Chain A
Amino acid sequence: MKKVFNISILMVLALVSSCNDDFLERLPETEIVADNFFNTEEDLSIYINGLYSFPGFGMYYADEATDNSATTGNREIKTIMTTEANSNTITSGWDWNYLRNINLFLENSPKADVSEEIRNHYDGVARFFRAQFYMGKIKRYSNVPWYDTVLTTDSEELYKASDSRDFVIEKIFEDYQFAIDHVLEDQPQGAVNKWLVLAYASRNALFEGTYRKYHDELSLAGTANTYLQMASNFSKQIMDSGNFSIYNTGNPNSDYYTLFSSEDLTSNPEVIFTNINIANVKDSGAWSGVFGNYEMSPARDLVESYLMADGTFLSDQPNYETLTFVEEFTDRDPRLSQTYAFPGWELIYVTNYSSGAANYVQQLNKNFTGYHQIKGFTNSLDQDFRNDVDVPVFRYAEVLLTHAEAEAELGSVSQSILDATINELRSRVGMPTLTMSVASDPVQAARYPNVSSPVLLEIRRERRVELALEGRRLEDLNRWKAGKLMEKEPRGLYFPGLGKYDLTGDGIEDIILLGASDVVPNPEDRETNSLDVTLIYYRAGTIGEDVDVYLTNGSSGYVIATPERGTFEEPKDYYRPIPATEVTLNPNLEQVFGWD
């Protein structure tokens, strides 16, 4: 018995004496500690993969709330224009986690046992992402604090004031330049390469150049040309490389559309960077709401900015402002019918948000324009196809547009430049060429009163048309200081009066508009057309009436969509407030241009 006692005591002592040994030391096995990482090229590559950030299908509805597209949904610019926005209500965008992830890489990559060329490549990719990050911040806040180290909880820099736009932009273009110099040209499909870096650098140089030129509130106009020149040079480098060309198989009525509805864009000569989707590996996220009556609907203003097929202005047409749906799609730039559902377009993929199949009859609805977007809409019953569709994140077309615009802003545009840029795009869709002697379109000129050059106006038109509904419009309006254009009430289809209308372009009526006080007859009493299809009945009226569609004059006029657009306050609304909570935490931060 005593023995047992002794053994017990010994056991207890033995266990206790080793109290702080390995028994209490448990380490992660399925996560890695930073000290054990960043050793090989593979480590660098795996970490860089976590920094990738590019648009997906969301870009097709990012034009909402601009003059391209109306929305019933919530968009930041709409909230700013329609409410008493302030730093308590506009609070998104002040997110810095991504920057820390990048700087953490740059601090650790020297540890890796790799060649200088490889390290510089990955550092270059990281710095490219940092430049992208800071451009995003500049575009919102103009002045932001610049950090190129990883901060800790007791870093004093947490409380520093914003650096000036000029300083940060210089740092950004240092990063771009480093990336251009060191990111390798030849990379796997879907990976960042030198050309993508150049493409973004040219886009953002053009942004900064034009922004400085038109935004006198910054007093930086004197340095605008530096960045315009940069934009021209960067784009020229891509053009001169000969690696890219406009996708043109000689089918002007489908080549353009193919770019947005293709299962594989990786071999497309025009796409500089593809967000690749493969069904069952990475589904596309394509969303049918982009077509249907969910929140967005493209606007008549955009329809009106397409040229006639013969290259003349729509405004040259008599009664161009009161063309009906079928009329306005006749003889237009072929890109219109590859962007909008046109009369006679066939709807295949029917979901809960849209009705009808076969030849689509434009569905009218309160607060929607009645136009429907087919760019970015995967019109197929095949789910695998819908999941496979790739997203053209950066097209060579934009590089050409950038080059032309930069040259035009610099005053050095020439016919040869137009031929190498704008006319490449026009030739794809069989449109006549743009010449230096183009006349001024009064409608286009009225949009941009601060531009006098007819060529520049046409370059801007070309850009709007070519990149329509790809999410570029808001940024373009901002840099051109054309935010006021968003105050215009978005309009939809035009109806000269009540009665029957053809919307499919076959000359046979498809719908009938009744007045607000009319009664929709019972199904068996409804009229049919010559194809024995029952007409679709709508009751039209003014806002507030118990009807199905609002028209500007009640029984005639334009379909009204979300009329309340508010006021675009200049220059304030080109910027965003730093969230109030952040200013409280760091009083050194200052709001710009009237935000509080």
Chain B
Amino acid sequence: MKNVLLFVLFLTTTFLGYGQKEVSGTIVDASDVPLAGVTVMVKGTTNGTASDFDGNYSITVEEGQVLEFSYIGFTTKEVTVGTSNTINVVLEEDVQSLGEVVVVGFGTQKKVNLSGAVNNVSVEQLDTRPINNVTQGLQGISPGLNIDFNSGAPGANPVVNIRGFTSINGGNPLVIIDGVPSDVSLLNLIAPEDIESISVLKDASSAAIYGARAAFGVLLITTKTGSKEKTSIRYNTYVTLGTPTVVPEKTTDPYIYLALQRLSEDNTPWTGVGTSAERLSWARERSDNPLSTVGVRESINNPGLWEYMGNENWTNYFLSNNTYSQNHNLSFTGGSEKVSYYLSASHNKHNGSLKIADDYFSRTGLRSRINVQLNDWLSLGNNTSYLISKRKNPSYFNIQTLYNFAPTDWDKNPDGSWANTDVGWMGARLTDGGNETGKTNTFQTTFDTQAWLIKDILKVNAEYTLRKEHYNYDANYAKFQIGYGPDDVREEGINEVWKRFSDEQYQVLNIYGTFNKNFGDHALTLLGGYNQEESRYDYVTLNRDAVISSSLPTLELATGTLYGNQYIRSWALRGLFYRANYIYKDRYILELNGRYDGSSRFPKDKRFGFFPSVSLAWNVANENFMKSLYPTLNLLKFRASYGSLGNQDVGYDKLNDGSFDYIPSMGSDLSDYIIDGELPLKITAPGIVSNNYTWEEVVSKNVGVDLGMFNNKFNASFDYFVRDTKGMLTLGKDLPAVLGASEPKENAGDLRTKGWELSLSYQNNFGNPNNPLRFSAKFNLSDSKSTITRFDNPNNSLLQYYEGMEIGEIWGLTSDGFFRSQEEIDALDETSIIPWGALEIVEGWPKYVDLDGNQKIEKGLSADDPKDMKVIGNMLPRYRFGLNLNFDWNNFDLGVFLQGVAKRDYYPRDYLYWGFYQQPYSGGYEHLQDFYRASDDSADRVANHSQSYINAGLANANTDARYPVLQAWLADRNLGERLDQAQGLAIPQTAYLLDGSYLRLKNITFGYTIPNKFTKNMGISSVRLYFSGDNLFEWSQIADFFDPEAVSDINERINPAYSAPRGETSGYQYPYQRKYSFGVNVNF
């Protein structure tokens, strides 16, 4: 009580001691030029003003308070108010933006001193808008960093790429998190809020220090560290409601569906589905009188069985319109002179779109980062994380099946059992057919130490990391009940249990020394080090049939034979690396990087490679002759680099990682034939391995320019690069099939990628200087294009890569509308492209331009003689861009983020687009109703049609149609998609080539920060509330059929030799979501 009294007394005297007064002055820059619009704030209050055109200001303050002078492009200056009533201020040009530090391999560099192509990514977006993982936040924000989500499934990882097509073997950027090589899936388990900085190393000179694994760039991630200040606590949370973006528009009218299905079949020589007159008449009644006609009844011709006539879009039955997701992140950061720490815990649960069963991905992470300064030259640190992820969904979940249901299907019988239809079976399977759960636990710890051998000049770092990743997958298939008829419910399905688990142990050791000293105008940095890595991956899969009880689906409680497989993969890398950086007068920069690397993935005599690089930069703005332009032009820097890197990333995934590809070995499996009552073991023959098998070499050249103007209000950066991927491991010379084995991979192909990147940014304050509207805009645009420069394909076969081929090109026919008469059909022989060799060419059939003028439409299979084929488009995305706009005003903030691809072609080949044209088993898309009808239906046909069919105009002639005569199998892809296999509309053609470009309103976030005065009494230093919308809108032709991002699953299809398996279709993706979120950021 006494203390309180004293405190009140103190406050009172303080208040009395410092009276309010008017302070004024002039603000100028270093050259004595008055600065207008400088914000003058009393620190810790909302009291503020701005300087006028002549740089003058005045403000009412109390003595002892602090004035804050801030202006874009200049460093903020603070002046404590003393007794004087005049405070004149000289603002220094903001060296902070020039002094900005960028994380590079094994160190940091001042941004201004960079000579390679390095982009420092803004990480603000990662915790101010609701994203489920880091890569979602990175999409579209850095030029040349390409992030494609091939699926909207919860927990789906994107393809991350730097600077476009890399190698025909694939080849991804190296992801390094806190100095430890990782991968995208691991990156996506880290809470975005824990990220401190991200650098994208794009050219050889910046990536060369990572040698063998960095051929296609590096994504350098640094997580947050502790501070030397008192503890601050931060809590972020949001909740999200998601709804699918694009779901195919399907016909729900049962008569239209069945009548068109029947028509599509009647126009072929086959009956696969067969719709009886009786079903059609029921469908007509259902369509005309949906309320008075039942949809399920006991079969008339087969008493004892149910029969069905639904009228629903069953996609909506299974996919939900609002799935709920949530995110929490809590972090503590702080420390003292000696110790600093950062601790965080996070949890994110992302629910998928499936309505009737669990379908989600969750991640939970704990991080601890501690650094101890033992004495003035030695520090120790530890960085440990434990990450848990879980993916759960029903065992039978298959998104393609969900899209394909006929509207005439049905879900449940009158007795409540699942109907004997595809929909009913799927419903039963999803709810009772068992679940699969995949869990990954990743533990990683890094011990590091830094010793200054010569203070501020020479230091040595050592880091050791151990990572253990455990994967545990459980699945079971359980029997389920299907109602065949009244009092006839049968058990169907299997009782089977699956278990998979894997253990991966990965270790890295890095030791490196750094020397850094300035000699007058000369600055020299030397770095040299050693790196070794090893990994061992052990994967086991087990399964057993005949589970006794589906409620206890374990291996132990099953009576079938127990089957098991085990796969072990291991690899090791060892390398020496260096960097020498020399800077003269802050103007001329020379940097040499290099690495000598050995990999266990290559034969002993071809194991090592040396990968050097050099880069130069000239900081023109620092030259004396440019001073006159200052500060209008405050940065102008030219950069150039050249270097080579190795690519050892020749595998696809952990199981097919290329570890032993140079060793011909024989795998084992169970035989397909029972001998003596059981399936014995079998061994498969070894493949052929080439003698010519070593690193792919990637040589890249880069030139760039950086520009800063108007005191850095405007910044621009441009890079142009040429990247040669040499000796790509691929099938060498095409050999006769009598060889009897797949041709071995060897270093046989070359590829050249050219591209450029542009980024522009602008920031400024507007409006009332007392309360300015802060605005910033960032725009980035990039492009690249790849061409095969060497490939052993002497005949330029279009079924292989060939020299001069542009990657992604689509060969196809040129549409010439439809055949409109028998004379036209007779005049042009299109028989060679008839699917299955058996459809009939009739009026309304697609007609093509006879490019070679021989009155025949034929596919040529060689680029030398393509007959009627030509390149009609390219499936690779071009001109990717992102635009980020931010507004800040009076505690309100608004961010708008647009992202897109300006050029891309997509040729559709699946049910989602072609429906009955593909096969009569599935279809009924509304867009396909605009098909060619040569004549009106006859009167007795019309009499049988439903009113809906007549109203839709389907009984009338339609010769001005978008789609050809309705012929099933005309667009069938089951013959294959490869050029020699594709027939009919499965051959790409110009009329149905879709424009895959898009502009997407990726995110809008509107936030409000509650003024400090309301919250500080609660011990809260700031609270921000926000509403956010993701994927709100897209401008795109393709979005009528597919989510525009769903067509990026083309990686395999780029290869002209690729023959897609029957089940594998493109564009058929798990739905992407529009998301509406509410979130809170709290700082204590």
Contacts and interface: CB of A to CB of B under 8 A. Distances in A.
A546 B484 contact: no
B940 A517 contact: yes
B672 A4 contact: no
B386 to A, nearest CB: 28
Contacts of B303: 533
A31 B686 CA distance: 10
Contacts of B795: 584
B534 interface: yes
A281 interface: yes
Contacts of A98: 740
Given A23-B532, A96-B737, A100-B741, A277 B674 contact: yes
B183 to A, nearest CB: 19
A446 interface: no
B629 interface: no
Given A277-B674, A366-B271, A537 B561 contact: no
Given A82-B837, A191-B675, A27 B690 contact: no
Contacts of A50: 671, 682-685
B526 interface: no
Given A82-B837, A152-B688, A30 B566 contact: yes
Contact of A190 (B378, B666, B673): B673
A153 B737 contact: no
A63 to B, nearest CB: 19
A97 interface: yes
Contacts, number: 270
A95 B572 contact: no
A175 to B, nearest CB: 17
Interface string A125-167: 0000000000000000000010100111101011100000000
Interface in B605-635: 607-608
A34 B687 CA distance: 10
Interface stretch (A83-91, A202-210, A309-317, A331-339): A83-91
B1029 interface: no
Contacts of B799: 581
Given A26-B659, A88-B980, A49 B278 contact: no
Interface in A1-37: 1-2, 4-5, 8, 11-12, 15-16, 19-20, 23-34, 37
Contacts of A534: 300-301
Contacts of A537: 277-278
B675 A26 contact: no
A539 interface: yes
A188 B681 CA distance: 15
A24 B838 contact: no
A8 to B, nearest CB: 5
A281 B270 contact: no
Given A82-B838, A366-B274, A49 B301 contact: no
Given A26-B571, A357-B304, A33 B664 contact: yes
Contact of B576 (A4, A16, A82, A159): A16
B736 A34 contact: no
B271 A32 contact: no
Given A33-B666, A190-B674, A25 B600 contact: yes
Given A88-B980, A96-B739, A46 B302 contact: no
A104 interface: yes
B276 interface: yes
Nearest to A34: B686
A594 B1068 CA distance: 44
Interface stretch (A216-224, A398-406, A519-527): A519-527
Contact of A83 (B270, B529, B838): B838
B598 interface: yes
Contact of B532 (A15, A30, A79): A15
Interface in B521-574: 529-530, 532, 534, 545-546, 560-561, 566-568, 570-574
Nearest to A89: B837
A185 interface: no
Interface string B427-451: 0000000000000000000000001
Interface residues of A, number: 110
Nearest to B800: A581
A95 B737 contact: yes
B665 A24 contact: no
A34 B377 CA distance: 56
Contact of A350 (B484, B545, B677): B484
Q: How large is the interface on B (under 10, 10 to 19, 20 to 34, 35 or more residues)?
A: 35 or more
Given A1-B377, A46-B682, A84-B832, A12 B671 contact: no
A537 B280 CA distance: 13
B277 A280 contact: no
Interface string A551-587: 0000000000010100000000000000101101110
Contacts of B667: 30-31
B1013 interface: no
Given A11-B511, A49-B681, A585 B301 contact: no
B271 A280 contact: no
Contacts of B494: 383
Interface string B718-745: 0000000000000011111111110110
A78 to B, nearest CB: 8
Given A280-B561, A356-B301, A357-B302, A37 B666 contact: yes
B941 interface: yes
Contact of B683 (A24, A37, A275, A365): A37
B654 interface: no
Interface string A245-285: 00000000000000000000000000000011110111000
B896 interface: no
B865 to A, nearest CB: 12
A320 interface: no
B831 interface: yes
Given A88-B980, A153-B735, A153-B739, A189 B666 contact: no
B936 interface: no
B738 A147 contact: yes
A367 B676 contact: no
B1064 interface: no
A24 B600 contact: yes
A356 B304 CA distance: 9
Contacts of B861: 88
A536 interface: yes
Interface string A295-336: 100000000000000000000000000000000000000000
Interface string B191-212: 0000000000000000000000
A24 B598 CA distance: 7
Interface in B275-311: 276-278, 281-282, 299-305
B673 A275 contact: yes
B836 interface: yes
A521 to B, nearest CB: 9
Contacts of B453: 1-2, 4-5
Contacts of B1063: none
24 contacts: A12-B529, A16-B530, A20-B607, A28-B665, A29-B570, A33-B686, A34-B664, A45-B680, A46-B680, A46-B681, A46-B683, A72-B270, A91-B980, A153-B735, A189-B677, A277-B674, A280-B545, A280-B560, A357-B305, A365-B274, A520-B281, A533-B303, A546-B266, A586-B736
Interface of B: 266, 269-272, 274, 276-278, 281-282, 299-305, 377-378, 420, 451, 453, 460, 462, 484, 490, 494, 509, 511, 513, 529-530, 532, 534, 545-546, 560-561, 566-568, 570-574, 576, 598-600, 604, 607-608, 659-660, 663-668, 671-686, 688, 690, 732-741, 743-744, 795, 797, 799, 831-832, 834, 836-838, 861, 940-941, 944, 980
9 tightest A-B CB contacts, nearest first = A100-B740, A83-B837, A50-B682, A280-B545, A188-B676, A49-B682, A31-B665, A276-B674, A280-B560
Given A5-B453, A47-B682, 16 more contacts: A8-B460, A15-B530, A16-B576, A31-B667, A33-B666, A46-B683, A52-B671, A72-B272, A98-B740, A100-B741, A103-B740, A153-B733, A188-B675, A350-B484, A523-B278, A538-B277
